Amino acid sequence: MATSQGTRPSQKKTKPLLARTAAGKWLHSLLNRVFCRRTVIIIADHKTKHLPFTGGVQFAGVVALIGMVVWASYSSGSYMAAQQILAEKERKLANSAMENRRVAAEFTLLKSDLMKLASASKNGKSADYAKMLAEQYSQPGIGDLAATDADSGLGGEYDAVLKRVEYLDNKVRELQATHNEMIADIRATTGGKIRELEQVIARTGVAATPLEKAARAERVQAEQLHEKYGRIEASAKGGKERAIGGGRGGPLLPERSSVLKNQETELYYNLRRMMVLNDVVNALPLAEPLRHNSYRQTSSFGSRVDPFKGRTAFHSGLDLAGVQNAKVYATNDGKVAFAGWKSAYGNMVDIKHPYGISTRYGHLARVLVQPDQYVKKGQVIGIQGSTGRSTGYHLHYEVRLNGTPVNPKKFLKEGDDVQTD
């Protein structure tokens, strides 16, 4: 039997640290069974090729898959939680505003009754009217109010109504204070989030205004479509109810679209802007096209000495050299606009992201996606190579805004900072 070079048959093999204890032996045995060495056999053109898959490769694949699932779950959960918080706060504001209106109406009614009581006392009719007010407003458990006897004259009933007014006045102040405190808390939180999102966009070096404008237009369009098809669905349901005898009617009154929009205009638009900026940041390609810490930058963005001509020229992206046959990943969700051979780029993939953002991946050895295919952030789209105008194995990576190249390094750095935070 042949032995590997440099190994003496008489030497004892050292047991792995994991196999020195009973539990370790069991775990080591389990891992060896689950992630045993496997071989894929490929038969083509009457030739057989064996591709070995070691246990380490299988284990790394499982860990990577679990990581992607956890990341996707965390991102979806964070977005849904933020939407639920905003909906809950708006519901509380609506309830608070409704309570304010109810108490204010009751307070106005009591003031009107007091004016009538004062007028009635001048005409000698105070006793009967005071008794009526005492029965209506002197409820047990509200302050020190209690029913009084009509024979006691005006004083008892009048005092009871005044106490009721004082109680309601205090209640209005408490509700207003709670409302103001809640509004102040939402305003502070919203302002802080807006500043944070603005800083993320600014550090990528792109102008925020065009992106924000495009994101706002897309959000408005989506809301209009939702409202349109929501009304169609409601109309269809209404027709079904009428068919089974469910009549409807009444005057046509415009519905208030939002309590925040009508009562807290500035806060309403700040919340809207926060959501738009969040859409913009989510669309930025902040991920890395190659595995983290598995590549080095061989050429920067901007002016450089051309490796073929030896003179100064503009370089529209970054050259990133990874390990041999390194996988190339999409840096954000998008639609494949081009996949194939493109002159100096060699094999290239061009992905369109929202709001005029696009990314390009050039000099690929193989392209693993098709035009018009939708890809997810972190999905493998190709294999690093040296096709086209290239001097060796590397990835040419570009980020473009409305067709104009921008520096990808700022996006990669901001992606690192966001993950660190």
pLDDT in single tens digits along all 421 residues of the chain: 333 344 444 444 455 555 567 777 777 777 777 667 777 677 777 777 777 767 677 777 777 878 787 777 776 666 677 677 777 777 777 777 777 777 667 666 666 666 666 555 555 555 555 555 555 554 444 444 334 444 444 455 556 666 777 777 777 788 878 878 888 888 888 888 989 999 999 999 898 889 999 998 988 888 777 776 765 555 555 544 434 444 444 444 344 445 556 667 888 888 888 999 999 999 999 999 999 888 999 999 988 887 787 778 899 999 999 988 899 999 999 999 999 999 899 999 999 999 999 999 999 999 999 999 999 999 999 999 999 999 899 999 999 999 999 999 999 988 775 554 5
Q: What is the pLDDT at residue 411?
A: 93
Q: What is the pLDDT at residue 226?
A: 73
Parallel, antiparallel, or unpaired: how do β-strands 380-384 and 347-352 relate?
unpaired
Both tokens of 347, joined, read 């094999």
Query: Position 151: which residue type?
Result: D
d(CA 218, CA 362): 30
Parallel, antiparallel, or unpaired: how do β-strands 302-305 and 327-329 relate?
unpaired
CB distance 107 to 165 below 8 Å? yes
d(CA 164, CA 138): 7
d(CA 111, CA 8): 105
Cα angle value 85/90/96 (rounded, 5°): 125
DSSP three-state, residue 418: helix
Matching residue, tokens 């590397």: 394
Q: What is the pLDDT at residue 161?
A: 63
Q: What is the pLDDT at residue 69?
A: 76
* CA dist list (Å): 251 to 248, 254, 313, 411: 11, 10, 71, 55
DSSP letter at 287?
S
Query: Position 226: which residue type?
Result: H
Predicted model pTM: 0.54
Query: Position 270: which residue type?
Result: N
Both tokens of 94, joined, read 């609506």
362 Cβ contact partners less than 8 Å away, ≥ 6 residues apart: 317, 342, 344, 345, 346, 347, 348, 388, 395, 396, 397, 398
Q: What is the pLDDT at residue 144?
A: 41
Q: At what angle do helices 154-203 and 55-122 cross, to 10 degrees?
A: 150
* CA dist list (Å): 320 to 64, 155, 242, 363, 387: 22, 90, 66, 11, 14
What is the set of domains in the chain, with CATH numbers? 90-235+258-283 (no CATH), 295-420 (2.70.70.10)
Query: Position 410: which residue type?
Result: K
* Among candidate residues 70, 68, 73, 76, the one with its CA nearest the CA of residue 330: 68
DSSP assignment string, 112-132 = HHHHHHHHHHHTT-HHHHHHH
Q: What is the pLDDT at residue 232?
A: 53
215 Cβ contact partners less than 8 Å away, ≥ 6 residues apart: 276, 277, 279, 280, 283, 354, 355
